[in-house]
Amino acid sequence: MLPEERESMVETANLRGKVAVVTGASRGIGRGIALVLAEQGAIVYVTGRTMNPGDYYLPGTVGETAAECTARGAASGGKGIAVMCDHADDAAVAALFEKVKAEQGRLDVLVNNAFTLSDDLLEKKGFWEKPLSNLEMWDVGVRSNYVASWHAAQIMVPQRSGLMVAISGFAGTTYTYGVVFGTSKTAVGRMARDMAVEMAPHNVASLTLWQGLTLTEKAKDNLAKMGDKMTKSITNMTGSTVEHPGRVVAALAADPEIMKRSGGEFVTAELAQEYGITDVDGTVIPSARATRGNPIWKPVSEG
């Protein structure tokens, strides 16, 4: 990001005083979202399983992301708070939200980003040829969204405000990498939609973002090692940085009419263009709707 762009974002400090939880933010999309929210003034609880460098084969820890959030939020009042949390552990998740409530007394944004990717995700095999352990993508990616949202709602509903964002993608409608992966992404959108229906009377929004190719640490590693196994309609996209979806989430969190979008599934690139958002280098990320499929759910307000 250019210095003048960062200064412009800090001057607005759209999220000053807001409290956010971003799951799975040691690296990747979660890290990018956490950084932007903190830069715009939010107190961001950064969760993930990687506590120490070297615990995972890719770089990034919850502590490193939280420290970078604090540095980026220095001028706007934003900061990061690292919480080691395995989102497959219900007790750990409960403790996370208890900590948020005790320390902040409120919660304004929950980003359900944590998702476990199976080691054989890119292997071109039938579902019956892959182990049942692949259901870990359901455990941390679908069930984990429900558990985190359940706890977040305990805080948001009484305060009559809040935004829950589920990170999904075009796999919600288009075959991508396998049965469990696609089913999980579809379930995420339906869950967010039904939560929106039930929370509408309480002024709490819930929606889903569809990411295209995002140049995370894992994506770059996969492209370098086995790009030939990846779906071509994905690898042919214009990839975004991890901060691009963060800019969109920040715009949503600051939108005074967010309830009009509640319940919908949105292509991140399309919302970015609607809000006038570019990537950190000024690139306008194109939508992959034409080649990858259409979102299913419209906002509750549209029937």
* Interval 39-76: pLDDT, tens: 999 999 999 998 888 777 777 799 999 999 999 999 99
Question: How far lies 242's CA from each of 152, 214, 215, 238, in Å?
Answer: 24, 6, 6, 13
Fold of 3-292: Rossmann fold (3.40.50)
Q: What is the pLDDT of residue 55?
A: 76
C-alpha closest to that of 152 among 82, 200, 99, 81: 99
C-alpha closest to that of 243 among 290, 272, 279, 209: 279
The Cα–Cα gap between 250 and 157 comes to: 21
Q: Which of 62-76, 115-129, 141-155 has the lowest mean pLDDT?
A: 115-129
Q: What is the pLDDT of residue 81?
A: 98
- The helix (run of H) or strand (run of E) holding residue 81 is strand 79-84
Residues 6 or more apart whose Cβ sits within 8 Å of residue 231: 176, 177
Contact present, 44 and 20 (Cβ < 8 Å) = yes
Contact present, 265 and 296 (Cβ < 8 Å) = yes
Most confident of the following: 52-61, 122-131, 142-151, 228-237:
142-151
